[in-house]
Amino acid sequence: MALVAKVAVDVALDRLFDYAVPAHLAPTVRAGARVEIPFGRRWACGYILSLQEDSDKPGLRPIRSVLTDQPAVDELMLDLARWMAEYYCAPIEHALRTVLPSPVRRSDVRFRKPLYVARTVAPETMQEGSKALRKTAPAQSRLAALLAEREGAYLQDLLREARTTMAAVRALIERGWVAVERRIKPRTPASAQVVLPTEPLELMPQQKEALGTICRAMDAGRSSVVLLHGVTGSGKTEVYLQAMAHAMRQGRGAIVLVPEIALTPQTIERFRGRFGDQVAVLHSRLSDGERHDEWHRIRDGKARVVVGARSAVFAPVHPLGLLVVDEEHEATYKQEESPRYNARDVAVMRGRSEGCVVVLGSATPSLESWWNARRGKYALARLPYRVDHRSMPVMRVVDMRLETAERGRHALFSKALMDGIRSRLERGEQTMLFLNRRGYATSLLCLRCGYVAACEHCSVAFTYHRADESLRCHICGDEQPVPAKCPKCGDPQFKMAGLGTQRVEAAVAAMFPKAAVRRMDADATTDKDAHGRILGEFRTGKIDILVGTQMIAKGLHFPNVTLIGVVCADMGLHLPDFRAGERTFHLLTQVAGRAGRGEVPGEVIVQTYTPFHAAIQAARRLDYEGFSDQELEFRRQLAYPPFSRLICLEVRGRSEERTKYCAEWLARQCTAAMPTGVRVGEAAPAPLARARGVYRYQVMLRSPSLRRMNEPLRKVLKEFKRPADVTCTVDVDALSLL
């Protein structure tokens, strides 16, 4: 019997290759080990995914070597990677690449361990003025003197300090005074900065109850999920902290995921204040070296609390007691490249396989999680009040149709908003003006009556394609000509005027010439520091009015902001996406949570052409549950998630003809291959049909069960012979349909 390894090779995706395990390696190889193998006529690296005894495979080429003494991925992580590959229709190597950060994967590569020069003789030998040094060249003497004071130094540092070259070091090696070896260089841990320790706070009754729910789940020793629905400022973070402490008392570690943008020094400080050096931080701004170090600190059990963005869900904390996903509804948890995983869903999956508790926290939980709580799959804990009992700000909804009628023309700002800004300027308080716009997504909105062109079958706004003056539904593929005038009120100029943050900025600046107005959106923050700089200026009061996109809505806390204006709530409401209502509700609620966190109560003014839209009315009443239950009903009727699973196939290419052809081919094949109950839409141009010369076509698949679609889809994709200039992505549980 010979041992055969199934290996995922780095250079050949989505297929496993069999290799023989030579007898001398047999005792050391394990699943998860990184190995070097012959591949074609070269050497390649890969991971062993499984091992089996096999006798009928003669002539297999042998594994050349095992690259790390410990397997880089353990069995649980390997399972998670396999699950991801299958669930998200991604190559296994992509999944492996995701569970293991690249600096860790490459840790076997020699450059990860820099050269270290260690002293091998007594310091006296090398001291300045020692007998042995008398006939030595100055460069060597300098080196020797430096090394006499310590046991050794990294080669690079040493050469720099002694202002010399490798030749001098070689001379010392030849004399037998030093030896050179490779060593992992400990970087100064980020935690070196001083953070004042904090004590657990005396909990409010609502927090006690929530913590009780979480701790009882942990004590039960089974995997379970708790949805923590708490308004902004209700003390969720304090509940996380104390639940984490509970896990630590049980000898287990914890992971907290926060959206990248919320991973500010203040956030990190809250965790360091409670858990000190036990905290490891993982985010995208770490250098490779720092990431490598943090990963090893976690794996070696030196850091048992991990705070990080999306990919921290794979942190090697063992045993894991608690996994928290803060702001679980955030779209940033979804990775937009293969594997297109959602860290929240991976967290739930990891919790299940490790038998630990997962807490999903949010002021506005996603409908997916809300539905799971509603039907008893998740436990529900509520924090309905702010800790300081400060009331939520007042939200006023302004009907822009009335403003238009009164003034006889379309206005950008209502009287209420202008008065509001003026009084803030007089009192020296700050205003945020917010425009929820994704530049390219265009729908047709009548600025007189609020009518929006939408697909009857799918209840999403039609996308307006300027090029051929057509309206398309990108979910079912339906197509219609653009009506000449508004079908409802007859207004002939009902195409939405281009409204953008720049126009808003210019208009405010013209209206309030003395005010300091700044804009913050993706265009204004292309350079790396702009984001922080603008926020800094706003914080210190150098800016009176900040104009921005959703970028300014989240996670920010400015006590002097007492007015928030939402310039046109309809923009987000009528995106061609069935989640448009949910998103708008979330956004308005988050925006409201930003206002009035200081001493002065806040005010939110929402301008809209559809003032009675459920999302706007519910946000005004701060009625999360009412909105969500109603929205669930809507989703159920139209068989949208969470009542179905959705896969979005997207085909891109420079040739419109070939792109379209491929999309149509996929739609046809899927229709033929799918069992009953799976709906396959027609191939349709994406709402952003063409960007930078690349055409995009989509095909939407929907079914109550993912598995029913997944397997046939894999077969279709295998047979898909795409031209070299066409790419195809598979987005399972797609969040952004644009």
Minimum distance of Zn ion from residue 698's CB (angstroms): 12
Q: Is the peptide bond before 642 cis (omega within 30 degrees of 0)?
A: yes
Should residue 562 be labelled a site residue for ligand ADP when binding is judged by CB under 6 A? no
Within 551-655, residue ranges assigned H as helices are: 570-573, 580-594, 614-621, 624-638
Helix (H), strand (E) at residue 4: strand 2-9
Which of 32, 71, 103, 235 is in the footprint of ligand ADP by CB under 6 A?
235
Should residue 411 be labelled a site residue for ligand ADP when binding is judged by CB under 6 A? no
Q: Using the 8-state DSSP alphabet, how is residue 66 labeled?
A: E
Using the minimum distance from each CB to ligand ADP, give the nearer residue, 230 or 339. Answer: 230
Using the minimum distance from each CB to Zn ion, give the nearer residue, 476 or 496. Answer: 476
Place of tokens 């001493």: 599
Minimum distance of ligand ADP from residue 227's CB (angstroms): 14
Should residue 387 be labelled a site residue for ligand ADP when binding is judged by CB under 6 A? yes
Helix and strand element counts for the chain (H, E) = 23, 29
Should residue 242 be labelled a site residue for ligand ADP when binding is judged by CB under 6 A? no
Minimum distance of ligand ADP from residue 236's CB (angstroms): 3
Provide the 10 A C-beta neighbour count for residue 531. 15
Contact (Cβ atoms closer than 8 angstroms) between residue 84 and residue 95: yes
For 472-508, b/e burial (b = at least 16 CB within 10 A) is: bbbbbbbbeebeeebeeeeeeebbbeebbbeebbebb
Should residue 476 be labelled a site residue for Zn ion when binding is judged by CB under 5 A? yes
**Which region, judged by CB under 6 A, interacts with ligand ADP, from 98-106, 234-242, 562-570, 650-658?**
234-242
Apex 117 CA angle, 113 and 120, nearest 5: 135
For 642-654, b/e burial (b = at least 16 CB within 10 A) is: bebbbbbbbbbbe
Which x/- pattern, by CB under 5 A, does the window 445-474 give for Zn ion? ----------x-xx--------------x-
With CB under 5 A as the rule, give the number of residues binding Zn ion.
7
Do the strands 279-282 and 65-66 form a parallel or antiparallel pair, or are they unpaired?
unpaired
Should residue 206 be labelled a site residue for ligand ADP when binding is judged by CB under 6 A? no
Residue 606 interacts with which of Zn ion, ligand ADP, none, CB < 5 to 8 Å by class? none
Using the minimum distance from each CB to ligand ADP, give the nearer residue, 366 or 703. Answer: 366
Minimum distance of ligand ADP from residue 225's CB (angstroms): 19
d(CA 114, CA 466): 57
With CB under 6 A as the rule, give the number of residues binding ligand ADP.
14
Which of 233, 339, 581, 602 is in the footprint of ligand ADP by CB under 6 A?
233
The residues facing 508 across adjacent strands are none
The residues facing 649 across adjacent strands are 699, 730
Residue 237 interacts with which of Zn ion, ligand ADP, none, CB < 5 to 8 Å by class? ligand ADP
Contact (Cβ atoms closer than 8 angstroms) between residue 246 and residue 539: no
Which of 46, 103, 230, 253 is in the footprint of ligand ADP by CB under 6 A?
230
Residue 457 interacts with which of ligand ADP, Zn ion, none, CB < 5 to 8 Å by class? Zn ion
Should residue 258 be labelled a site residue for ligand ADP when binding is judged by CB under 6 A? no
Minimum distance of ligand ADP from residue 293's CB (angstroms): 29
Minimum distance of ligand ADP from residue 232's CB (angstroms): 5
The residues facing 697 across adjacent strands are 651, 685
Minimum distance of Zn ion from residue 574's CB (angstroms): 14
Minimum distance of ligand ADP from residue 363's CB (angstroms): 7
The residues facing 461 across adjacent strands are 454
Using the minimum distance from each CB to Zn ion, give the nearer residue, 223 or 463. Answer: 463
d(CA 148, CA 133): 12
Minimum distance of ligand ADP from residue 596's CB (angstroms): 14
Minimum distance of ligand ADP from residue 230's CB (angstroms): 5
Should residue 101 be labelled a site residue for ligand ADP when binding is judged by CB under 6 A? no
* Angle (deg, nearest 10), helices 155-162 and 138-148: 120
Helix (H), strand (E) at residue 471: strand 470-472
**Which region, judged by CB under 6 A, interacts with ligand ADP, from 232-240, 300-308, 337-345, 608-616?**
232-240
Apex 534 CA angle, 531 and 537, nearest 5: 145
Minimum distance of ligand ADP from residue 234's CB (angstroms): 4
| Residue 655 in tokens | 């040739």
Minimum distance of Zn ion from residue 737's CB (angstroms): 12
Should residue 236 be labelled a site residue for ligand ADP when binding is judged by CB under 6 A? yes
Residue 458 interacts with which of ligand ADP, Zn ion, none, CB < 5 to 8 Å by class? Zn ion
Should residue 699 be labelled a site residue for Zn ion when binding is judged by CB under 5 A? no
Place of tokens 């996903």: 325
Do the strands 517-520 and 479-481 form a parallel or antiparallel pair, or are they unpaired?
unpaired
The residues facing 336 across adjacent strands are none
Should residue 684 be labelled a site residue for Zn ion when binding is judged by CB under 5 A? no
Residue 203 interacts with which of Zn ion, ligand ADP, none, CB < 5 to 8 Å by class? ligand ADP
| Residue 64 in tokens | 């050349």
Do the strands 645-653 and 694-703 form a parallel or antiparallel pair, or are they unpaired?
antiparallel
- Share of the chain residues as helix, strand and coil, in percent rounded to the nearest 5: 35, 25, 40
Which of 93, 238, 403, 731 is in the footprint of ligand ADP by CB under 6 A?
238
Which of 204, 564, 615, 662 is in the footprint of ligand ADP by CB under 6 A?
204
**Which region, judged by CB under 6 A, interacts with ligand ADP, from 137-145, 229-237, 315-323, 650-658?**
229-237
For 2-20, b/e burial (b = at least 16 CB within 10 A) is: bbbbbbbbbebeeebbebb
Using the minimum distance from each CB to ligand ADP, give the nearer residue, 310 or 597. Answer: 597
Residues of this chain that bind Zn ion (CB under 5 A):
455, 457-458, 473, 475-476, 478
Residues of this chain that bind ligand ADP (CB under 6 A):
201-204, 207, 230, 232-238, 387
